[in-house]
Amino acid sequence: MSTLIVIDQPPYGSWAGREALDMAFSLAAFDQPVSLLFCGAGVNWLRKGQEPGTIRQKSVEKNLAAAPIFGVEALLADGDDCNRYGLEAEQLLDGVTVVQADSQLFTNYSHTAFAG
């Protein structure tokens, strides 16, 4: 039973994405297979060199770097949405797989949960 957690919101405008990330980490902590899909404005989570210190928030890059350590199986980014936000492959964090987020992708997972 593999779960796909979908983050479709930008990293710093709300807490929904962070709380979705906590859900993924929590599943991984209980040895449940889980992957994360970033789409829409959510692809901005995966941008290298984020500096949110001036808005007194912690960079989500550190959280994402911890994802493989916690046992999250894959960090997926929707290719079309990366293009829309001007994210080239070399600007993405290490370990991200660019995919096409279509109905075919979702058939690989038995559960899907979205950021609130």
Partner 1 sequence: MQDSTPFSFTLVITGAPYSSQAPQSALSFAAAAIRAGHRVDRVFLYGDGVQLASALASPPSDEPHWPREWSSFLEKHGIPGVACIASALRRGLVDEGEQKRYELTASNLLAPFTIAGLGEWVEGRMSSSRTVYFHGSD
Q: Are 101 and 8 in contact (CB under 8 A)?
A: no
- Burial tier of 72 (Cβ tally within 10 Å: 0-12, 13-18, 19+): buried
Q: How far is the CB of 91 from partner 1 (least distance, A)?
A: 26
Identify the residue among 1, 53, 62, 69 touching partner 1 (CB under 8 A). Answer: 1
Q: Are 42 and 87 in contact (CB under 8 A)?
A: no
Q: How far is the CB of 77 from partner 1 (least distance, A)?
A: 20
Both structure tokens of 77: 């980014």
If binding is defined by CB under 8 A, does position 14 make contact with partner 1? yes
Identify the residue among 48, 58, 84, 111 touching partner 1 (CB under 8 A). Answer: 111
If binding is defined by CB under 8 A, does position 16 make contact with partner 1? yes
If binding is defined by CB under 8 A, does position 26 make contact with partner 1? yes
